[in-house]
Amino acid sequence: MASEAGKAPAIPGRRVLMFPLPFQGHLSPMLQLADVLHARGLRVTLFHAAFNAPDPVAGYRFVPVGAGVPAADLVPTGSDADFVGALLRFNERLQGAFQDSLREVLEEEEGARPACLVLDSNLRGMQVVADRLGVPTLVLRTGGAACLVAYMAFPALCDKGLLPLQDHAQLNMPLDDLQPLQLGDMVFSTTTPHETMSNCLERIMESARYSSGVIINTFSELEGADLQKIIHGLGVPVYAVGPLHKISPSAQSSMLDTDKTCLNWLDKQEVKSVLFVSIGSLASMTQEELVETAWGLANSCLPFLWVIRPNLVQCSGKVGLPEGFEEVTRGRGMVVSWAPQQEVLGHQAVGGFWTHNGWNSTLESICEGVPMICRPHFADQMINARYVQEVWKVGFELEGKLERGKIERSVRKLFCQEEGGEMRRRAKDLEDKATECMKKGGSSETRINLLVDFMMSLPC
Ligand code: UDX
């Protein structure tokens, strides 16, 4: 997808700087990209928020930014957490510290300028600093191409008076220019004020437009049409280099302790019999929803592996699984606090995934040919779910209030009905396409080569 990228002689050991956001769904793809670049001969310096250093990687340099800034100032917590406001704060609070750190790194390496800084697209504040110090930037989009297209269209919907949403009756309004999206898919948060959301999206789009190129964790066989819209809309080179977790499977970066005992448990289950239930690292549910989910899974009578991470339930009172649930599901259900998700999805026993449709989870499911029950919560998740249901047809949305009977019927639809079987077959086709794009001469392998050439060609 890259536009013309000049071939340049490789400069051995040229350095690339990187700056991810300190959230699981953003950190992992950045580290995977770092691994890809490192494997092609680039050296890596990784800036990171001081409060959460990623696990060290041999051969990389890690530079903490903002020591002394409390995590609580940067990371949202609580049921009504405003993630978007936190992103803007992250930029404000760390911009000065980043300027000092970047200047130090550049001075230490005088005479060997880094090729560029690759930063998360939410870090427009850091991009401004890099521009000031003469370091070219590339932006990593950890979401899909459809999401970026939707972000590009957001201001026009505001100009038309459709956003902020005036009337709940408009939630299902089809958006002709953004098919198959509906207006409700563009309501990215119910806790963030509209002005804050607009500001955040404007900064994401600025980071893309003012960059030397945009890197997207997707592949052209999956999102070709949306990638074309981005290429035409942005005017900078666009590199679709995913699925990064498959291209760089060894780049692990779990922020929580992973319980691998579930893999032994999966070994004992029948092929494609288990539903994996996980809603990522940020989304949450109420205690009432937890109870409905528990009984929905129990009543389905099918095996399940369920991730209940420590802060999954937003509740000030008693939190926990309902009485009797463990006895009823003993032997056919397992609960863990954090799973090795990619290995789980790749396990032969897993036949379905109840997901919140964070982009990483969506891509991981697609790459293993696992059909999905979609239960999006916020941000890009509604867009991803819409594509899973309407475009790729490898899953369906569990809509409305969470209720045990509805959950039971959804699980049965995926595992026991012909419709679910068709979704599974289409998911297998997508898995094959994902495998192809990574092979020599495949679309993503080609884009990665172009990206590395481009980085090498940037002025020394
Ligand atoms: C966030 C946003 O919510 C998401 O919409 C956006 O696209 C990226 O940033 P998150 O909610 O955590 O990410 O979801 P997701 O993108 O799916 O990333 C979660 C990651 O955690 C996945 O890579 C998944 O494999 C991993 N995970 C999740 C585990 O390793 N174990 C688990 O038990 C659960």
Rounded mean pLDDT, 426-449: 98
Ligand 1 atom closest to 361 (CA)? 17
Residue closest by Cα to atom 34 of ligand 1: 280
Q: If you average pLDDT over residues 326-352, what whole number do you get?
A: 97
Among 83-97, 113-127, 221-235, 368-382, which is the least confidently predicted range? 83-97
pLDDT of res. 85: 84
Distance 353 CA to ligand 1 centre (A): 13
Residue scoring higher pLDDT (436 or 73): 436
373 burial (CB, 10 Å; 0-12 / 13-18 / 19+) is buried
Domain membership of residue 2 (yes or no) is no
Give the whole-angstrom CA distance, residue 288 versus residue 402.
9
Q: Is the residue at 246 inside a domain?
A: yes
Same domain, 206 and 307: no
User: 183-216 burial, b if ≥16 CB within 10 A, otherwise e?
Assistant: bebbbbbeebeeebbbbbbebbbebbeebbbbbb
Least confident of 316-325, 347-356, 363-372, 432-441: 316-325
pLDDT in tens, 75-117: 776 555 678 888 999 999 999 999 999 999 999 876 788 999 9
Q: How far apart are CA 414 and CA 131, in angstroms?
A: 50
One domain, residues 227 and 282: no
Among residues 26, 48, 347, 377, the one annotated as catalytic is 26
Instruction: Name the phi and psi angles at 92, rounded to 5.
Output: -65, -50
Question: Looking at the 3D structure of the chain, how many domains does it have?
Answer: 2
- Give the closest residue (by CA) to ligand 1 atom 30: 341
Residues 155 and 121 in one domain: yes
> What was the pLDDT predicted at 81?
65
pLDDT score for 304: 98
Answer yes or no: is 9 within a domain. no
Predicted pLDDT at 69: 87
Q: Which of 35, 120, 185, 380 is catalytic?
A: 120
What's the mean per-residue pLDDT of the chain?
93
CA of 283 to the centre of ligand 1 (A): 9
**DSSP labels, 91-126:** HHHHHHHHHHHHHHHHHHTTTS--SEEEEETT-HHH
Nearest by Cα to 126 from 100, 104, 148, 94? 94
Distance 259 CA to ligand 1 centre (A): 16
Distance CA 197, CA 193 (A): 6
CA atoms within 13 A on the CB side of 428: 9
Position with higher pLDDT, 73 vs 2: 73
pLDDT at 6 over 50: no
358 lines ligand 1 (CB under 6 A): yes
Is 6 part of a structural domain of the chain?
no
pLDDT at 460 over 80: no
Tokens coding 414: 């995926």
pLDDT tens-digit map of 174-204: 999 999 999 999 999 988 999 999 999 999 9
Whether 120 is catalytic is yes
The count of residues in the chain is 460
Say yes or no: CB of residue 354 within 6 Å of ligand 1. no
State the closest ligand 1 atom to the C-alpha of 379, by its place in the atom list counted from 1.
5
pTM: 0.95
CATH classification of the domain holding 142: 3.40.50.2000
In Å, how far from its chain's centre is CA 443? 21
Using the structure block, give the residue that is written with the tokens 């592996």: 305
Is 380 a residue of the active site? Answer: no
Whether the per-residue pLDDT at 215 is higher than 70: the answer is: yes
Please give the share of the chain, as a percent, with pLDDT higher than 70.
95
Q: Do 227 and 1 contact (CB within 8 A), yes or no?
A: yes
In a shared domain, residues 269 and 179: no
Please give the pLDDT value at position 77: 65
Same domain, residue pair 201 and 341: no
- Residue 214 near residue 139, CB atoms below 8 Å: yes
Ligand 1 pocket test target in 188, 311, 361, 381 with most atoms within 8 Å of CB: 361
Pairing status of strand 350-355 against strand 274-278: parallel
Atom of ligand 1 nearest to the CA of 143: 7
Q: Measured in Å, how far apart are the chain's first and last C-alpha atoms?
A: 25
**Mean pLDDT to the nearest integer, 12-36:** 93
Q: Say if ligand 1 is within 6 A of residue 364 CB.
A: yes
pLDDT in tens, 43-81: 999 999 998 888 889 899 999 999 988 888 787 765 556
Q: Kindly state the average pLDDT of the residues 385-414.
A: 98
Whose Cα sits closest to atom 2 in ligand 1?
Answer: 358
Least confident of 156-170, 241-255, 377-391, 397-411: 241-255
Phi-psi region of 229 (alpha: psi -120 to 50; beta: other; left: phi over 0): alpha
| Radius of gyration (C-alpha) of the chain in whole angstroms | 22
Backbone angles phi, psi at 351, to 5 degrees: -120, 0
Does the pLDDT value for residue 8 go beyond 50? no
Instruction: Please say if the pLDDT value at position 244 is more than 60.
Output: yes
Whether 381 lines ligand 1, by a CB cut-off of 6 Å, is yes
Does residue 452 lie within any of the structural domains? yes
Task: Indicate whether 266 and 391 sit together in one domain.
Answer: yes
Contact between 192 and 217 (Cβ < 8 Å)? no
Q: Report how far ligand 1's centroid is from the alpha carbon of 165 (Å).
A: 27
pLDDT of res. 256: 87
Domain that holds residue 110: 15-252+437-457
Angle at 27 between CA 391 and CA 249, to 5 degrees: 75
391: amino acid identity, one letter: V
Res 78: pLDDT: 58
